[in-house]
Amino acid sequence: MASIPATRVKKGMLIKQGQDLLRVLEFMHVTPGNLRGFVRVRFRNIRSGALSDQKLRSEDNVDRAVLDEREMQYLYREGENFCFMDTTSYEQVHINSEALGDSVNYLKAEMLIKVLGAERRHRAGRTQDGVAVALGVLGRMGIPAREITMVNGSGLYQGNLVAPLHLVKLLRNVYRNPAMRAEYVSHLSIAGIDGTLAGRFRDLRAPRVVRAKTGTLDDVVALSGYVLGETPERALAFSILANGVSGHRTEARTLGDAIVHALVDQLYPPPPTPTPAAAP
């Protein structure tokens, strides 16, 4: 354990306070006029999952916890607990869903990657095998493996790097495949109707034409999907990824929505304004 100034607290750090182990979710340096500055921090308790907001003085020190990292494989869920196995010692541990937080949503994606590798390589599922298979599929779609970084199947892992252009190419290829199009599009939220888009895009010129998937983290806002045209051949694929928007997520989401509105207007332009009749 190391003692560090409060001004050096960063997102993702683990801080020990008494018997509690806290992860930094958000932080902001505040200097109110001529007064002494402070750091406003939001923590998540690793054991209980509870959130807390604290104000640390600039001259305060905090104890940064240094933990040993071990690769764990997700096995199964039992009520509100998730069972993981140490891939080296085979020891099993149970972690409460509140402690896992949003990471729970990405366990299935990671397991899917391993199953994909097992099915194609005909051996026990491994992340690297699944990643190799996925990169091969993307390569056949015109997305070279050298242009993206894929380490695992988790949408929360910062080591996975992909650009909006790559997602648009993926969406376009799926849409052009008649065996996949209908099934894939049906799993996306309908703007203004259901899912995470139920409360958005209710004022579109053409209703039900935006089908998309949202993504939101502390400092990330994402929206990717389609604007469907009057015929299947008339459709637009789009992907909007905004990083580093902590404290400005509303503005980022508003900008993304404006882009989608512009795409809808491109496919469904307003009717021409009638020309006033000439005076007799």
pLDDT tens per residue across span 184-208: 999 999 999 998 999 999 999 899 9
Q: Considering the domain 2-64, what is its CATH architecture?
A: Roll (2.30)
State the Cα–Cα distance between residues 210 and 190, nearest whole angstrom.
6
Phi-psi region at 215: left, alpha or beta (left = phi > 0; alpha = psi -120 to 50):
beta
The neighbouring-strand residues paired with 23 are 14, 44
State the Cα–Cα distance between residues 100 and 275, nearest whole angstrom.
62
The yes-or-no verdict on residue 38 having pLDDT over 90 is no
Q: Considering the domain 163-269, what is its CATH architecture?
A: 3-Layer(aba) Sandwich (3.40)
The yes-or-no verdict on residue 220 having pLDDT over 90 is no
For 146-189, the pLDDT digits (tens) are 999 998 887 667 788 899 999 999 999 999 999 999 999 999 99
Whether this prediction's pTM lies above 0.95 is answered by: no
The yes-or-no verdict on residue 270 having pLDDT over 70 is yes
Of 132 and 7, the structure prediction assigns the larger pLDDT to 132
Average pLDDT (256-260) is 96
Tokens found for residue 219: 């400092």
Average pLDDT (226-234) is 93
Q: How many CB atoms lie within 10 A of CB 105?
A: 12
Q: How many CB atoms lie within 10 A of CB 35?
A: 8
Residue 93: what pLDDT? 87
Chain position carrying tokens 């203004």: 192
